[in-house]
Amino acid sequence: MVDLYNVGTYNADMIFKVGYLNELKRMLEKVLPHATLKAKPNLESRFRTLKRDWEIVYNMFSGKDNSEFGWDKHRQMVVAKDAVWNSYINVR
pLDDT in tens, 68-90: 888 888 888 888 889 888 888 88
Do β-strands 77-79 and 11-12 pair in parallel, antiparallel, or remain unpaired? unpaired
Which residues does residue 16 pair with via DSSP β-bridges, in sequence order?
11
pLDDT at 68: 83
Report yes or no on 74 lying in a domain: no
pLDDT at 33: 76
Q: How many independent structural domains does the chain possess?
A: 1
Report yes or no on 75 lying in a domain: no
Report yes or no on 60 lying in a domain: yes
pLDDT at 57: 82
Report yes or no on 76 lying in a domain: no
Domain hosting residue 32, numbered range = 1-67
pLDDT in tens, 8-45: 666 655 566 667 777 777 777 787 777 766 666 777 78
